Amino acid sequence: MRAGVPAARVWKALAEDGASGGAAQDDALQRVVSCMSSGATAAEALASGEAPEWRALSAVWWTAESSGAPLADVLDRFAASMRAIGQVAERRAVLLAGPRATIRLVVSLPPVAMALGALLGFNPLQALGGPTGWAIVALGVLLLALGVCWSVALLRRVERADWVAGWEFELVAVAIAGGGSRRMALRLAADCSDRARAEWVRLEALAPGGAVESAVAAADSHGAPLGPLLLGEAERCRDRAQAELEQAAERLGVSVLVPLGVCVLPAFVLLGVVPVLLSVLGGAGGSWGSG
């Protein structure tokens, strides 16, 4: 694009080369090319993407084109933000390895306990043969399933908590770089984000009295250049968001103990300890179940 290649040719070349390296991204590229072939602009085609990063890119593209700002520089900053997300994801995968292993270990305890009881010569399954035994099994399985679902939900909530923060400031900086007034820049950034349905752009920050308007007022009061100040605020927001993602992954190591203690460990007692204990006490079979 710096060499003057039209956007349609750029996206077509990316789709043909398979530069994304993943099936989902390749499908998204093909969809963008297909939309542009049907007459849509690049920003409109990007807004049709299913993933939030495509719609954020659409908002960036729309703002740059509408304001006349240099698009290639904006795309460089967007690419740097996405690379930062990738680094956070790698770091988070390391932090989540411990909680994930803990879940697997604790979930495997009930069947391991029953198998160990059978190897020691007891018959834990026979101890659960009566109606009361079936109720114990049902309750234990229910607790185990609930604990697993709860733990996995906590993991997925942290795994999927990716976003690029600070683009409210970035979009206004882009609009101002195109030569627009500050009020028009705020309105343009909000309009483009709304048209692109960009979840990563918080419209309340662009509203009157929002964080972006406060930054603009601070720049006016101190006589500071607005563009660099807005870009600095965007970087600060991204750094804070990435730190929050890492902290959430670290806290998960503690919070995942709640479903394990409330659900999985009682399930282990019901499915693994109680049957073996009943066999040891001689209450196996129908005599215990009928009682």
The Cα–Cα gap between 94 and 65 comes to 40
What count of other Cβ atoms lies within 10 Å of the Cβ of residue 140? 21
The Cα–Cα gap between 193 and 176 comes to 16
Is residue 164 a contact partner of residue 280, using CB atoms and an 8 Å limit?
no
- Read off the tokens for 132: 């009361």
Return the pLDDT at 289: 45
- Read off the tokens for 118: 């059978």
Return the pLDDT at 123: 67
Return the pLDDT at 18: 62
The Cα–Cα gap between 187 and 197 comes to 15
- Give the tens place of pLDDT for each residue, 217-241: 888 777 778 888 888 888 888 888 7
What count of other Cβ atoms lies within 10 Å of the Cβ of residue 88? 20
Return the pLDDT at 23: 66
The Cα–Cα gap between 130 and 188 comes to 71
Return the pLDDT at 121: 67
What is the pTM for the complete model shown? 0.68
Query: Which ranges of the chain have pLDDT less than 50?
Result: 283-291
The Cα–Cα gap between 25 and 11 comes to 12
The Cα–Cα gap between 114 and 123 comes to 9
Return the pLDDT at 287: 42
